[in-house]
């Protein structure tokens, strides 16, 4: 078991909670969907599923701490990421989504709220398109999966891992948690985990790169699922036009755009991000 440290630089309701509370979280290996999966679990309250981005889950961050005050966070490392078993039969994101539905059965998660980041946002959208009633509420943050009408998705495979992670943040020097997610001198374990994540992301998203042409049409099935789309206005990884298309494709969805923010609003604007998510989850 692990104890998180307190943070005092997050504003608003989330910051008030985080300045006085810490959360105990655990990392375990569980068998779900006939695979051995690394699962981080922490917090208290109604379960919430967190689907990590293309670089994997490595840290318990400020936004985790804030969400964990009212939710039990379940953060699986996707098959082939982190310490999770790779599934050779999973060849694309639709396969991944099908596997996740089986895994959610084994975890006993019927109607659960989910937050998906980038690659994980695409995955959440694919799962929801298959079975929208499986989720209670859906939050997509800088989600891949849709080809931007204007601009291009950043090719992460033309850069080394540190260069790519640096590009995800508009102002690394002004982002207190940037050094935590992208250390100046990463450990060998962290560097190896980045490369494993990049290899798996490449297997699943290379052709076509980081999107599925049919996805905007399939998203009509989400019209009864409350959905929040969150984007940084200066996102250099996936242009805002993709977020606008997600919003257009999901009837009744809400689009929230954060100014002076890149691809990682959860660490670049943690207070604003948590306030948006809390307001959305609290709404009837």
260-284 pLDDT tens trace: 999 999 999 999 999 999 999 999 7
How far is 126 from 131, CA to CA, in rounded Å?
9
**Are 273 and 230 within 8 A, CB to CB?**
yes
Crossing angle of helices 119-130/93-107, nearest 10°?
A: 70
pLDDT for the residue 100: 98
Alpha helices in 92-222 (DSSP H): 93-107, 119-130, 161-167, 178-181, 188-205, 215-218
How far is 234 from 231, CA to CA, in rounded Å?
9
The tokens for 185 are 């001198």
pLDDT for the residue 24: 85
Would you say the C-alpha torsion 9, 44, 5, 104 has a positive or negative sign? negative
DSSP 267: H
- Tell me the average pLDDT of the chain: 93
Q: CA distances (Å), 28 to each of 17, 100, 135, in order?
A: 26, 18, 24
Crossing angle of helices 93-107/188-205, nearest 10°?
A: 120
Residue 16 pLDDT > 90: no
C-alpha 274: how far from chain center: 14
Q: The CATH number of the domain where 16 resides is what?
A: 3.40.50.1820
**Are 43 and 50 within 8 A, CB to CB?**
no
How far is 263 from 235, CA to CA, in rounded Å?
5
Cβ count within 10 A of residue 272 = 20
Find the angle CA(126)-CA(132)-CA(134) to the nearest 5 degrees: 105
Determine what percent of the chain is predicted with pLDDT higher than 70. 93
The tokens for 45 are 């309250």
pLDDT for the residue 12: 33
pLDDT for the residue 228: 98
When mean pLDDT is compared across 16-30, 103-117, 159-173, the lowest value belongs to 16-30
Residue 4 pLDDT > 70: no
Name beta bridge partners: 50: 115
Please give the residue range of the domain that contains residue 19: 2-282
**Are 180 and 59 within 8 A, CB to CB?**
yes
pLDDT for the residue 5: 36
Domain count, the chain: 1
The tokens for 191 are 């560097």
The pLDDT tens digits for 229-266 are 999 999 999 999 999 999 999 999 999 999 999 999 99
Residue 20 pLDDT > 70: no
**Would the pTM count as exceeding 0.85?**
yes
DSSP 126: H
The pLDDT tens digits for 55-95 are 999 999 999 999 999 999 999 999 999 999 999 999 999 99
* E strands, 2-64, in order: 2-3, 24-32, 35-43, 46-51
**Are 113 and 135 within 8 A, CB to CB?**
yes
**Are 107 and 101 within 8 A, CB to CB?**
no
How far is 260 from 283, CA to CA, in rounded Å?
26
pLDDT for the residue 23: 81
């Amino acid at each position: 078991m692990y104890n998180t440290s307190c943070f005092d630089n997050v504003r608003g309701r989330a910051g008030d909670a985080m300045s006085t509370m810490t959360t105990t979280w655990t990392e375990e290996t569980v068998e779900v969907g006939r695979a051995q999966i690394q699962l981080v679990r922490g917090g208290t309250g109604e379960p919430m599923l967190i689907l990590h981005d293309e670089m994997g889950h490595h840290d318990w961050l400020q936004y985790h701490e804030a969400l964990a005050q009212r939710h039990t966070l379940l953060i699986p490392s996707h098959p082939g990421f982190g310490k999770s078993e790779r599934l050779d039969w999973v060849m694309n994101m639709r396969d991944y989504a099908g596997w996740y539905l089986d895994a959610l059965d084994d975890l006993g998660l019927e109607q659960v709220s989910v937050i998906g980041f980038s690659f994980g946002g695409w995955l959440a959208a694919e799962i929801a398109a298959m079975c929208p009633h499986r989720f209670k509420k859906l939050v997509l943050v800088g989600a891949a999966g849709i080809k931007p009408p204007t601009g291009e998705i950043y090719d992460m495979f033309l850069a080394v891992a540190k260069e790519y992670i640096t590009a995800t943040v508009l102002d690394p020097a002004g982002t207190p948690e940037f050094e935590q997610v992208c250390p100046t001198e990463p450990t060998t374990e962290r560097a190896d985990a980045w490369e494993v994540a990049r290899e798996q992301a490449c297997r699943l998203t290379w052709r076509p790169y980081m999107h599925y042409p049919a996805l905007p049409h399939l998203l009509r099935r989400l019209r009864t699922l409350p959905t929040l789309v969150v984007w940084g206005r200066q996102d250099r990884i996936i242009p805002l036009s993709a977020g606008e298309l997600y919003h257009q494709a999901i009837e009744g969805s809400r689009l929230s755009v954060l100014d002076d923010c890149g691809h990682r609003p959860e660490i670049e604007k943690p207070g604003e991000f948590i306030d948006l998510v809390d307001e959305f989850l609290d709404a009837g």
